[in-house]
Homo-oligomer: A and B are copies of this chain.
Amino acid sequence: MTALSTVGKSVPRIDALEKVTGKAKYTIDEGVGLPGMLYGKVLYSPYPHAEILDIDTSRAEQLPGVKAVMTGTDVPNVRMGRVVLDQHVLARGRVRFVGDAVAAVAASTIEAAEEALDFIRVEYKELPAVFDAEEAMRQDCPIVLHPELASYKSVSFSELRQDLPGPNVHTHHKIRKGNVDDGFQKADLIVENRFSTCRISHCQLELPNSTAYLGGDGTLTVWSSVHLLFPTAAQISNVFGLPPSKVRVRANYFGGCFGGSPRAYMFAAMLALKTGRPVKVVFSREESFFRDLHRLPKVIYIKDGVTRDGTLLAREMRLICNGGAYADATPQIIRNGSFGISQYRIPNVKWDAYGVYTNEPICGGFRGYGNSQPFWAIEQQLEILAEKLGMDAVDLRKKNIVKEGEKNLRGEITHSIGAEECLDKAAEWIGWGKSSEAPGGNLKIGKGIALGNKYTMVDTVSASMVKVHKDGTIEFRHGGEESGQGCNTVLSQIVAEEFNVPMHKVKVVWGDTSIVPYDFGSVSSRTTFFTGNAVRLACQDAKRQIFETAAPRLGAAPEDLATGDGTVYVRESPEKAMTISALFMPEAKGAQKGALLVPEEGEILGRGMFYIEGVTDEDFETGQGTKLTASYGYAAQAVEVAVDSETGIVKVLRWVNAFDMGTPINPKLCEGQMEGGAGMGIGSALYEELVMDNGKILNPGFRDYRFPSTKEIPSGNNMKSMTVEAPHREGPFGAKGAGEAAMTPSAPAIANAIYNAAGVRITDLPITPEKVLKALRASKK
**A residues neighboring B (CB under 8 Å):** 14-15, 18, 23-25, 29, 32-35, 216-217, 230, 243-246, 459-461, 463, 469-471, 473, 475, 507, 509, 514-515, 517-518, 520, 589-590, 592-594, 599-603, 605, 607, 609, 611-617
Contacts and interface: CB of A to CB of B under 8 A. Distances in A.
Contacts of A520: 601
B615 A609 contact: no
A390 to B, nearest CB: 48
Contact of A461 (B18, B463, B507, B602): B602
A659 to B, nearest CB: 29
Nearest to A607: B605
A601 B518 CA distance: 6
B613 A473 contact: no
Contacts of A23: 216
Contacts of A245: 469-471, 473, 475, 507
B216 A463 contact: no
Nearest to A37: B33
Nearest to A611: B599
A599 B609 contact: yes
A51 B379 CA distance: 84
Nearest to A474: B245
A230 B666 CA distance: 36
Given A15-B217, A518-B603, A589-B617, 9 more contacts: A25-B216, A33-B33, A33-B34, A243-B473, A461-B599, A515-B515, A593-B615, A594-B614, A603-B609
Contacts of A35: 29, 32-33
Nearest to A467: B245
Interface of A is mostly: loop
A616 B592 contact: yes
A15 B600 CA distance: 31
A63 to B, nearest CB: 25
Given A243-B471, A461-B599, A602-B463, A590 B611 contact: no
A98 to B, nearest CB: 36
A518 B602 contact: yes
Given A25-B216, A32-B35, A216-B18, A615 B592 contact: yes
Contacts of A617: 589-590
Nearest to A242: B471
A374 B475 CA distance: 46
Nearest to A488: B217
A244 B469 contact: yes
Contacts of A25: 216
A609 B602 contact: yes
Nearest to A473: B245
Q: Which 10 A/B pairs are nearest by Cβ-Cβ distance? A: A33-B33, A18-B216, A245-B473, A245-B469, A243-B471, A518-B601, A515-B515, A23-B216, A244-B471, A24-B216
Given A244-B469, A514-B509, A611 B603 contact: no
A617 to B, nearest CB: 5
A535 to B, nearest CB: 15
